[in-house]
Amino acid sequence: MHSKCYRFMQLNSQMRQLSLIILLVLLVNKASGEQVAAAQSLDDEIVPYDFTHFPYKETVTNEKQWAEYESACEQSTECLAKTGVLRVRCVRECISPHCYNVLYRHDELEEGEVDVRLSSFKGCFLKKLKTRRV
């Protein structure tokens, strides 16, 4: 009788372990399902960022002109006094107040933001630069 009791207890212990494993698997699946649902709802909320596009071709000449103006503005007293995104804003506005107003004034660049408008800003700047020289 004693051995039957022992086998029953072993079986009972194994069943408890199996039940715990099944419970853990179910919990993990539920949690990952909630994460997938949350990610899908974030995807549904993505709205494309709309701004004025100015074509810009990255050539040696264009980059030299850009670097010349950028360097001059970075060294201006007004911009030197600033740091981080405030300095970037200052430099961009110094390079071309018109292009800055068109591309950034309504939605200022923020700390840590990936600047998707930079290429358009460079295109606007070069367009204005060429019209001044004509």
CB 49 within 8 A of CB 120: no
Q: How many domains does the chain have?
A: 2
Kindly state whether residue 119 falls inside one of the protein's structural domains: yes
Sorting pLDDT into bands at 50, 70 and 90, what band is 1? low
- Cβ partners under 8 Å of residue 92, min gap 6: 99, 100, 104, 109, 121
| 126 and 68 fall within a common domain | yes
Sorting pLDDT into bands at 50, 70 and 90, what band is 18? low
Which tens digits make up the pLDDT trace of 76-107? 999 999 999 999 999 999 999 999 999 999 99
Kindly state whether residue 116 falls inside one of the protein's structural domains: yes
Task: Answer with the residue of higher pLDDT: 64 or 12.
Answer: 64
| 73 and 127 fall within a common domain | yes
| 123 and 72 fall within a common domain | yes
Average pLDDT along the chain? 82
Kindly state whether residue 54 falls inside one of the protein's structural domains: no
| 7 and 33 fall within a common domain | yes
How many CA atoms does the CB half-sphere of 113 hold within 13 Å? Answer: 15
Q: Determine the structural domain holding residue 2 and report its residue range.
A: 1-46
